[in-house]
Structure 1
Amino acid sequence: MRPMSHASRTLLALTLAAAFGGFAATALRDGLDRPAHAEPAMPVAVPAVTALPTAVAGQPLPSLAPMLERVTPAVVSVRTRQVVRVSPFGDDPFFRRMFPELSQQQLNQSLGSGVIIDAKNGYVLTNHHVIEGADDVTVTLADGRTVKAEFVGSDPDTDVAVMRIQADNLTAIPLADSDRLRVGDFVVAVGNPFAVGQTVTSGIVSAVGRSNVPGVGYQNFIQTDASINPGNSGGALVNLNGELVGINTASFNPRGSMAGNIGLGFAIPSDLAENVMQQLLAGGVVRRGTLGIETQDVDERIASSLGLDVARGAAVTRVYAGSAGEKAGLEPGDVIVAANGQRIDDSETLRNFQGLQAPDAKVALDVRRAGKPLQLSATLREQPRALDGNALDPRLSGARFAELPETARRGGISGVLVAEVARGSRAASNGLREGDVVLAASSGGFSDLPGFRASVGKQPAQLVLRILRGGRQGTLPMQ
């Protein structure tokens, strides 16, 4: 008989390991189904399951334990505390001011996970939603030590946050190149689900580049069937080398997150998380690129009018003067169907793509113009973060406008956010309030900050804003 090859021996080991799991389950089921009856006393042989060999054909059985011994010390539990005031009058500002003594303090606590990625400086990556609004954050290490965490910075639109802890003998996880992940690669999730303690689950990469998860901002998720449950957020997704490939951030279940895992977990790629972290450490803010255009989805009617065979892509409706799109040669009526080889199905896909690019990034655009293919090259410019109302129109003086959070956009809201309103300013006298969303204006349509600037920057004779406030819409004339 010829000796077995190394591959054959490994396959045999895996087959026997899998077969053992099936055997154990079958034995338990048969024992439960078989009726009990008396048997004469006699010597009983030791079942095979108690003597599982440590090796098969000279090869050790596969185990993740050695890798996890290196990884788990770098995964931490994150506990947050937030003190909020609760009024019997709810959010009504008048009665809350009139009867402040009736308000009561309430302590909200939550639990998530984090990953140490720099042992020397004590930097910990987690999700923005894990620490959002927290007054106090503590981190519990795998060895049981609990230390206070210092907030460094966060980016709500990618759900990445950075903290710093001070402790001796920290362990960090090395980062992998997440761009090299392939569907079918084995991955392991580590975190603290449901506060039961550090837990390890395993699975495969189910998909990469996911960008259609409801209620989340800019997306380029790794999808996995490794169990990710409440409390796993901010934890580690690692490859079989013990390298960080992602930050676990969400699980999808139509019955709600507390219903448990159904094999749809999502993680932020480590490359994206590291890029955001480096920007937060360098300047505290994340800079993003933009083409400086407005688009709309391509439906059957638009596809027919533009000579397209398929109703997909982002149709350009406006190109702003001096923008990256204008310099690249984009024109209204063009349809963008791919960017850097990535398929663009609609306006949201294009916006998501731009939001994950840095300013000055080079982008190759696949365009359809009058039904014919066209390739254009663009160099993105920085997406504006905020605009002062005084620079747009004197009637908006004292207000500061910002882009809507991406979570709001994915919820179907389009417009700009009123980020600040100075007390006693002209904008305040006109009725604008911090937190308002400007949905439309009499000066023309817009969907984001550049569009708002182009619209109201014309300073029309009459300026009326349509506002969303507390779930209700109304109009405000600007005097």
Structure 2
Amino acid sequence: MSDEQDAAERAAAGPEPPRLGPRPLERPPVDAGAASVFGRPDGVRGGFARGDQVNGGPVAGSSPAPPPPPALAGAFGRGPGDTTALQRPPDPQHNGTDPAGPDTFWNAGDVPADIDPWRNPGSAAELGPPAPAEPAAVPAPGGPGARLSVREVLFGRRVEPRALALLGIMALLIGAAGGLIGRLTADGASALTEPGATLTSVTAAKERPPGSVADIAARVVPAVVSIEIRVGDQGGTGSGIVIDPSGYVLTNNHVVAPAADAQGSDIEAIFSDGTRTPAQIVGRDPKTDLAVVKVAVSNPTVARIGSSHSLAVGDGVLAIGSPLGLAGTVTDGIVSALNRPVRLDSGETGANAVIDAIQTDAAINPGNSGGPLVDSTGAVVGINTAIRSLGQGEGGSIGLGFAIPIDDARGIAQELIRTGVVKHADLGVNTKSVTDGITDGAQVQNVVDGGPAAAAGVVEGDVIVKLDDRTIAGADELVVAVREHKPGDTVQVHLVRDGRPLTVQAVLGSD
């Protein structure tokens, strides 16, 4: 398209809208404080100084940067003879021909753009003054100091006397406050019971009057010994009571029986003061489960022998011995029953012993066997022998203990000391316990030929219901009733034969 056609089209389009020129540069005044912080140093007009080419020389307090290392200059510098600047001003022939006016970017300021070191990358870097010194670091608060001992506080002169006096006064005040609070607390506690309360009265009394459990125990325990037996690697314990100044000790047969015939067996008696001494078996009576041993001691404490016939149900008694190996154990209770026929477990003794026992609720356990049962005067009234338990084998006390009456044991012990053996009265029958719902008795199972019963006319099937004045309620009671007599005694035997009562006389023999 020709210039004429172009002009014709512009004329047909109408007048051309006015063209806006560039907005004039506004240079707001610079705050003096900001200029002092962010402005150029005095004498420097550009961002890069040219040493002595700028304002007659370098700025005070500055020094030119050292030349770059050769390796960096060779890698990043201009080639040999190359003086071309990276930024060039516009063509001088166009400078100032623009309708908008001259280019203020290149010609502003006192230094032409082509020599302004700020715009010349080839200008040397100028090092400014050294940075101001950093403020001294404030040390952090230290940890707790070393603790002082009481001696250092009082005598080390490390605490002011006034501080010590103040501490003493504070301690006194705290103590007084604590005492006052305690007094008020005690007054408040007593106020819970005192107002309007009626307290039981007390009277002065001796702590252990004569006849008390403590008094009886103190008098009897020295006469009680613990008996230990050893047979090989087996052992057992029991109890005994000193009955004679010569050192005779009464105990149970089942306590010493394992060591009676065994080779290498050993029996020791241990007194309440810890004295140990060997013991020798003097004699044994398996049918009443009694035995006597002797110890070589001088002037032992001897127990006082009482009477079991004077006992009544409800009387207080003490059981003393070594239950479960615990020597010097004292338990108290009452007499629960008298003349209780008890058949003892033969165990290793092989004897079928039956005793006419004193029953007591004083706790008796394994190890009490052979120890004394004493009354409220401190006299021995029985020898603890057996217990009744709910369990199998050895069990603990359930309030049913049995002792051999001392009146029976005294005669047997005397006979054992004199001869070493005891003979018992015998009727010459074997019986079993029976009842018809009204009357109990001992029915004769067989009669020993030539024995006392056969001579008296007792036959098999007879039911013995009484021996002298003692009622017979079973086979065991017949045994103990016969043993109350001596061989050769004549007794009245009351029996029932074919439903009819019958009484015969029998002269007791010996076993």
| Band of TM-score, shorter chain | 0.5 to 0.7
1:94-125 residue CA offsets vs partner (Å, 9 max, x unmatched): xxxxxxxxxxxxx1122211100112x11001
3-state secondary structure, aligned to 1:118: coil
1:161-216 residue CA offsets vs partner (Å, 9 max, x unmatched): 10001112311112112122211111111111222331111110001112245525
Structure 2 spans left out of the alignment, 5+ residues: 1-181, 260-264, 347-352
- Aligned with residue 146 of structure 1, among 268, 276, 279: 276
Q: State the partner residue of 1:248.
A: 384
Contact 2:344/2:386, CA 8 A, preserved across alignment: no
Amino acid at match of 1:315: Q
Distance 2:212 2:434 in 1: 50
- Asked if residue 381 in structure 1 is aligned to residue 500 in structure 2, the reply is no
3-state secondary structure, aligned to 2:389: coil
Distance 1:315 1:108 in 2: 42
Distance 1:298 1:286 in 2: 30
Distance 1:288 1:193 in 2: 31
> By how many angstroms is 1:358 displaced?
2.9
- Asked if residue 163 in structure 1 is aligned to residue 288 in structure 2, the reply is no
Distance 2:440 2:317 in 1: 34
1:235-267 residue CA offsets vs partner (Å, 9 max, x unmatched): 110011111101111222112575532111111
Distance 2:397 2:376 in 1: 22
- Asked if residue 328 in structure 1 is aligned to residue 478 in structure 2, the reply is no
1:364-422 residue CA offsets vs partner (Å, 9 max, x unmatched): 22222343333333220112xxxxxxxxxxxxxxxxxxxxxxxxxxxxxxxxxxxxxxx
3-state secondary structure, aligned to 2:486: coil
The 5 Å alignment of 1:77-226 reads 77-83=226-232, 107-119=233-245, 121-134=246-259, 135-213=265-343, 215=345, 217-226=353-362
1:343–1:146 distance in 2 versus 1, CA, 3 Å: same
Moved more, 283-292 or 218-227: 283-292
Q: State the partner residue of 1:41.
A: 185
1:238–1:316 distance in 2 versus 1, CA, 3 Å: same
Q: Let me know the Cα RMSD of the aligned residues.
A: 3.1
1:365–1:54 distance in 2 versus 1, CA, 3 Å: farther
> By how many angstroms is 1:142 displaced?
1.3
3-state secondary structure, aligned to 1:316: strand
The size of the alignment, in residue pairs, is 311
- Aligned with residue 64 of structure 1, among 213, 221, 224: 213
1:371–1:131 distance in 2 versus 1, CA, 3 Å: same
Amino acid at match of 1:377: Q
Q: State the partner residue of 2:170.
A: none
Amino acid at match of 2:478: L
3-state secondary structure, aligned to 2:364: coil
Distance 2:426 2:209 in 1: 53
- Aligned with residue 225 of structure 2, among 55, 76, 86: 76
1:62–1:273 distance in 2 versus 1, CA, 3 Å: closer
3-state secondary structure, aligned to 2:397: coil
> By how many angstroms is 1:311 displaced?
5.7
Amino acid at match of 1:41: T
- Asked if residue 263 in structure 1 is aligned to residue 399 in structure 2, the reply is yes
- Aligned with residue 340 of structure 1, among 468, 473, 485: 468
Amino acid at match of 1:79: E
Contact 2:209/2:215, CA 8 A, preserved across alignment: no
Distance 2:209 2:247 in 1: 37
Contact 2:343/2:354, CA 8 A, preserved across alignment: no
Amino acid at match of 1:230: P
Contact 1:248/1:266, CA 8 A, preserved across alignment: yes
> By how many angstroms is 1:144 displaced?
1.7
Amino acid at match of 1:361: D
- Asked if residue 55 in structure 1 is aligned to residue 205 in structure 2, the reply is yes
Contact 2:316/2:332, CA 8 A, preserved across alignment: yes
3-state secondary structure, aligned to 2:506: strand
Distance 1:144 1:237 in 2: 22
> By how many angstroms is 1:329 displaced?
3.6
Distance 1:299 1:240 in 2: 39
Q: State the partner residue of 2:408.
A: 272
Amino acid at match of 1:131: V
1:43-99 residue CA offsets vs partner (Å, 9 max, x unmatched): 576x999x975429xx9697233332221110111111111xxxxxxxxxxxxxxxx
1:333–1:193 distance in 2 versus 1, CA, 3 Å: closer
1:233–1:368 distance in 2 versus 1, CA, 3 Å: same
The 5 Å alignment of 1:348-367 reads 348-355=476-483, 357-367=485-495
Identity of aligned residues (%): 39
1:332–1:260 distance in 2 versus 1, CA, 3 Å: closer
Distance 1:321 1:63 in 2: 55
Distance 1:60 1:298 in 2: 50
3-state secondary structure, aligned to 1:278: helix
1:289-345 residue CA offsets vs partner (Å, 9 max, x unmatched): 222234455465xxxxxxxx8463233354445322233343444321011322223
1:323–1:264 distance in 2 versus 1, CA, 3 Å: same
1:180–1:329 distance in 2 versus 1, CA, 3 Å: farther
TM-score (ref. length: structure 1): 0.59
Contact 1:111/1:130, CA 8 A, preserved across alignment: yes
Structure 1 spans left out of the alignment, 5+ residues: 1-37, 84-106, 301-308, 384-479
- Aligned with residue 227 of structure 1, among 363, 380, 383: 363
1:454-474 residue CA offsets vs partner (Å, 9 max, x unmatched): xxxxxxxxxxxxxxxxxxxxx
3-state secondary structure, aligned to 2:354: coil
3-state secondary structure, aligned to 1:219: strand
The 5 Å alignment of 1:293-312 reads 293-298=429-434, 310=438, 312=440
Contact 1:230/1:257, CA 8 A, preserved across alignment: no
Contact 1:218/1:356, CA 8 A, preserved across alignment: no
Contact 2:211/2:376, CA 8 A, preserved across alignment: no
Higher strand proportion: 1
1:117–1:52 distance in 2 versus 1, CA, 3 Å: farther
> By how many angstroms is 1:149 displaced?
0.7
